[in-house]
């Protein structure tokens, strides 16, 4: 293996040694087994290809100062994948199979876990696919669950530096009673055009409004939204956003730091009142928001007046990273330490 430049990794795919797979057939999941192949042998009429029976997850493993490997909130990702399975009628993947497959994939690719202090981490991508052929719109009888890993740096190249985001009123990501609360590929396909447009205009992401009233903040393309004012952490409550595990972690940390936490509808105009705001997710960690431009309405909300991350976002970021890396004790039971 060529030397990896850990400190300059971007968020992208790098081949690692193994991925680990479990197949569902006749009501049973097979024991997770490793392969070196990056390919999948798939029937041309498989339901994942035609009818979008596909769900995925994203979580991270870290190397601590003590040399130990820590996986962050693995069980919560397993539970969210179950809700994705329920949402698009896939066979439910048991928590134990999810965890066993993830742990095996991390251990077998241990040499790809970025060293402590590099700022990088090992991104873990669990993927679940409907494999059997159907031509009518019906769920698959058989499924493939696989986990691959890849070392990554920051999702936004700016890292922990504020970036601008855009509201594009001509696009919705998910409908109020649709699939926005689960992690399936279709939601991301639906976000590609708006995301591309925003990037071309120099924005890091789209900040979606609620699809029904176009009045309240929903979330960003790859991350939840939070705002801070008057010592309060505020994040949208919506029936069309992904329940972010990182956001849930920050709500807990904020509360324990003495902030008030509010999960409620956030009208767009409230952006004018935030002292700090950010995008939050596994890939994004916390990515502070510089300003929000509502392109079609020709409005601009400047959040970071000096172009830097605010003090509360910085404190939350440092606390979260410290727990993930094992620099601070895991008092919440969020971390799985691999032996």
User: Which C-beta is closer to ligand PLP: that of 19 or that of 249?
Assistant: 249
Cβ–Cβ < 8 Å for 316, 254:
yes
Q: Is 319 a catalytic residue?
A: no
Q: Taking contact as CB under 6 A, which single stretch among the options 35-43, 131-139, 152-160, 241-249 is the one that binds ligand PLP?
A: 241-249
Nearer to ligand PLP, 125 or 299 (CB): 125
Cβ proximity of 285 and 153 under 8 Å: no
Applying CB under 6 A, which part among 152-160, 240-248, 300-308, 323-331 lies near ligand PLP?
A: 240-248
**Residue whose beta carbon is closest to ligand PLP:** 281
The DSSP code sequence of 34-100 is EE--------TTBHHHHS--EEE--EEEEE-TTS-EEEESHHHHHHHHHHHHHHTTPPPPPHHHHHH
Give least dist CB 222 to ligand PLP, A.
Answer: 5
285 binds ligand PLP (CB under 6 A): no
Q: 136 burial class (0-12, 13-18, 19+ CB within 10 angstroms)? A: exposed
Choice between 140 and 224, CB closer to ligand PLP: 224
Element (H, E) at 108: helix 95-108
Which of 22, 244, 313, 336 touches ligand PLP by CB under 6 A? Answer: 244
Shortest distance, CB of residue 195 to ligand COI, whole angstroms?
10
Minimum distance of ligand COI from residue 282's CB (angstroms) = 4
Query: What is the C-alpha to C-alpha distance for residues 250 and 118, in angstroms, rounded to an integer?
Result: 23
> Can you give the binding site for ligand COI, defined by CB under 6 A?
58, 222, 281-283
Using DSSP's 3-state secondary structure scheme, residue 133 falls into strand
Q: How many helices (H) and strands (E) does the chain have?
A: 7, 18
One of 219, 268, 276, 293 touching ligand PLP (CB under 6 A): 219
Q: Does 149 bind ligand PLP (CB under 6 A)?
A: no
Interface map 37-66 toward ligand PLP (x if CB under 6 A): ---------------------x--------
* Paired sense of beta strands 205-209 and 163-167, if any: parallel
Kindly name the residue from 183, 229, 260, 305 that is annotated as catalytic.
183
Residues recognised as catalytic: 183
């Amino acid at each position: 293996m060529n030397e990896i430049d850990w400190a300059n990794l971007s968020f992208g795919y790098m081949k690692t040694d193994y991925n680990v797979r479990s197949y569902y057939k006749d009501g049973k999941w097979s024991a997770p087994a490793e392969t070196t192949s990056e390919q999948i042998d798939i029937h041309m009429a498989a339901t994942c290809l035609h009818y979008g029976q596909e769900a995925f997850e994203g979580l991270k493993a870290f190397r601590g100062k003590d040399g130990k490997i820590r996986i962050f909130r693995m069980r919560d990702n397993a539970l969210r994948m179950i809700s994705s399975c329920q949402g698009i009628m896939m066979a439910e993947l048991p928590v134990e199979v999810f965890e066993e497959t993830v742990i095996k994939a991390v251990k077998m690719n241990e040499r790809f876990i970025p060293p402590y202090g590099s700022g990088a981490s090992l991104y873990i991508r669990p993927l679940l696919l409907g494999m059997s052929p159907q031509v009518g719109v019906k769920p698959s009888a058989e499924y493939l669950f696989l986990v691959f890993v890849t070392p990554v740096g920051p999702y936004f190249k700016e890292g922990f530096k504020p970036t601008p985001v855009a509201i594009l009123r001509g696009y919705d990501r998910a409908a109020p009673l649709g699939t926005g609360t689960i992690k399936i590929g279709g939601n991301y396909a639906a976000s590609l055009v708006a995301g591309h447009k925003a990037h071309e205009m120099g924005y890091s992401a789209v900040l979606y409004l609620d699809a029904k009233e176009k009045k309240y903040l929903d979330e960003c393309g790859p991350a939840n939204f939070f705002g801070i004012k008057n010592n309060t952490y505020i994040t949208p409550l919506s029936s069309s956003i992904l329940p972010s595990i990182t956001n849930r972690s920050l709500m807990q940390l904020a509360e324990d730091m003495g902030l008030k936490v509010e999960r409620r509808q956030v009208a767009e105009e409230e952006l004018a009142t935030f002292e700090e705001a950010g995008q939050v997710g596994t890939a994004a960690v916390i990515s502070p928001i510089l300003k929000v431009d509502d392109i079609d309405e020709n409005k601009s909300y400047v959040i970071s007046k000096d172009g830097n991350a605010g003090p509360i976002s910085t404190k939350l970021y440092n606390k979260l990273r410290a727990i993930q890396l094992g620099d601070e004790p895991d008092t919440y039971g969020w971390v799985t330490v691999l032996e």
